[in-house]
Amino acid sequence: MATDTKIAAPVLISTNPATGETVGTYSCTSVDEVHEAVDIARRAQPAWAALGVQKRVAIIRRFRKLLNQQAGEVAELITREAGKPIPEAMGAEILVVQDAAEFVARHAAEILQPQPVPHSNPAMKTKRGTLHHEPHGVIGIISPWNYPFSIPSTETLAALVLGNAVVLKPSELTPACALKLQSLLHEAGVPKEIMQVVLGEGPVGAALIDSKIDKIIFTGSVATGRRVSVAAAQKLLPCVLELGGKDPFIVFDDADLDVASSGAVWGAFMNAGQTCLSVERCYVQRSVFEKFVNMCVKKAQALKVGDGFDRDTDVGPMIDTRQLRIVESQVADALDKGAKVLTGGERLTQLGPNFYAPTVLTNVTPDMKLMREETFGPLLPVIPFDTDEQAISMANESEFGLAASVWTNSRSRGEAVAGKIEAGTVMVNDAISGFGICEAPHGGFKASGIGRTHGLLGMQEMVRVRYVDVDRVVMKKPWWYGYKGMYREQIHGFADMMFGHSPAKRIKGALNSTKILTRPKL
């Protein structure tokens, strides 16, 4: 039987949430050791950057090949440690990482390529600007347990290929998955000093932020994200925050209800509802509300809840009892306030302490906790609406803004509504799956976060930029004082040019006086 809590400091005991069996016992990293790990990474990073992008790309591709060879074994480890069914471990974790590895390998050279910065200020005519991209140095990554392999992997790969060292602090609930990532990277050729994992609970993450890292990439809850943001602000440490969501799912009357209800059921219950992009609030146009709800109930009841290793399992356990209790308390609050549970609404104790039935609720109102706070569990609350405007306003009535989905057979209606939803990703006729497109930037509006991971924007987060300005004509600039002389005329000439006026006499005078046309160029 699974235990109530998975943590026993100063060691981490990782347990299978379905069975309670021990996956592994690991020593926690001390605060001093965290600082030491970062110092080691700092010393090693210049050589990793100097290795050159092509050699790093080759290592990342070797990692991808190793992952491909060991995919079955890694999927089993993910299921053992996080509980999800094997097809979800393969589809939403390993496949995503394989795709991301190829993406970052393909784009690394282009990101690091210096880029000319053309400009049009006539007064700066002799200057040439170039943007240089370089690794930050040591990137700290703090990750959650719900995608224990894909989240730290995609972020780590992007950081490494661009020449950074990485110190990763995974969730205390899923250390084994992070250690597997580390061993695959080392086997592929990433030096041990360049990719290190530190283990422990929150204080180990806090120590990482306090160390000499150059940037922090944090994925987790809004509450912890705020703490991370405050700690980073004290040091003016740049950070990316990938936080929670309360994603709305809007079904219009012209949608294919069979497809949309399957999308809602999968979007709400995959990974036992423990996905940042889970469907958490379902809004359905009143004329099709009843039909849609009935379809969802039927489909939810057909799902098999069980151990992720069981071939018949659709929905695995929740990560632990603490998380399950949050779901129970939200359902209790909703029932107190008048909600109706149409199916589910209970623990499946016969399976173990961490299983909760896929649950569909109606009669829900905006004041209920399950409509305001992130649930992170298998709940699907469904609410009717009348007009498009009403659906948009209900969807936007949240402090979160991670993702949303809109269901309609009209592409123009879908895109028009998508344009009005306050979220970092809006999917039309799909849910969650946008995360599987490694080209698509991932991140939220409002309390759902700052910055992006994935895609070229995610890669850009892993480099800092230096603008190098070279003046090809060595001369004294006319604006280096002497304001009461010729410059007074000249600056008006430059302004005339900026506004497209034909070069007046005074601009000719300006150019001649500085003799920039006749000076030798560098």
Q: Is 276 in the site for ligand NAD (CB under 6 A)?
A: yes
CB of residue 498 to ligand NAD, shortest distance in Å:
43
Residues 163-192 close enough to bind ligand NAD by CB under 6 A: 169, 171-172
Query: Per this entry, what is the length of the chain?
Result: 522
Query: In this chain, which stretch among 204-212, 324-332, 362-370, 469-477 interacts with ligand NAD, using CB under 6 A?
Result: 204-212
Query: In this chain, which stretch among 99-107, 153-161, 410-418, 442-450 interacts with ligand NAD, using CB under 6 A?
Result: 442-450
Phi-psi region of 236 (alpha: psi -120 to 50; beta: other; left: phi over 0): left
- Which residue of 15, 16, 45, 146 would you call a contact of ligand NAD, by CB under 6 A? 146
Question: What residues pair up with 131 in beta bridges, in sequence order?
Answer: 115, 467
- For residues 3 and 163, the answer to whether their CB atoms sit within 8 Å is no
- Which residue of 219, 271, 375, 425 would you call a contact of ligand NAD, by CB under 6 A? 219
Q: CA-CA distances (angstroms) from residue 275 to 41, 48, 75, 319, 420?
A: 32, 34, 17, 12, 23
Query: What strands, in cross-sheet order, belong to the sheet with 463-471?
Result: 115-116, 127-135, 463-471
- For residues 273 and 378, the answer to whether their CB atoms sit within 8 Å is yes
CB of residue 245 to ligand NAD, shortest distance in Å:
6
Q: Is 240 in the site for ligand NAD (CB under 6 A)?
A: no
Label residues 112-135 b or e (16+ Cβ within 10 Å = b).
beeeeeeeeebbebbebeeeebeb
Residue 195 has φ and ψ, to the nearest 5°, of: -135, 110
Active site residue 28: no
Query: In this chain, which stretch among 67-75, 96-104, 153-161, 221-229 interacts with ligand NAD, using CB under 6 A?
Result: 221-229
Give me the long-range contacts of 482-488 (CB less than 8 A, separation at least 24): 486/510, 486/513
Q: Is 161 in the site for ligand NAD (CB under 6 A)?
A: no
- Which residue of 26, 48, 103, 145 would you call a contact of ligand NAD, by CB under 6 A? 145
Q: Which residue is nearest to ligand NAD (CB)?
A: 205
Write the binding mask 246 to 265 for ligand NAD: x where contact by CB under 6 A, - elsewhere: --------------------
Residues 363-392 close enough to bind ligand NAD by CB under 6 A: 374, 376
Residue 331 has φ and ψ, to the nearest 5°, of: -65, -40
List all residues 6 or more positions away from 46 whose beta carbon is below 8 Å from its beta carbon. Answer: none
81, 172, 242, 461: the active-site residue: 242
- For residues 117 and 129, the answer to whether their CB atoms sit within 8 Å is yes
- Which residue of 185, 206, 268, 272 would you call a contact of ligand NAD, by CB under 6 A? 206
Please count the CA atoms within 13 angstroms of the CA of 169 that sit on its side-chain side. 29
Identity of the residue, 61 or 322, whose beta carbon is nearer to ligand NAD in the bound complex: 322
Q: Is 90 in the site for ligand NAD (CB under 6 A)?
A: no
Active site residue 242: yes
> Which residues of the shown chain bind ligand NAD in the complex (CB under 6 A)?
142-147, 151, 169, 171-172, 201-202, 205-206, 209, 219-221, 224, 227-228, 242-245, 276, 374, 376, 402, 442, 444, 449
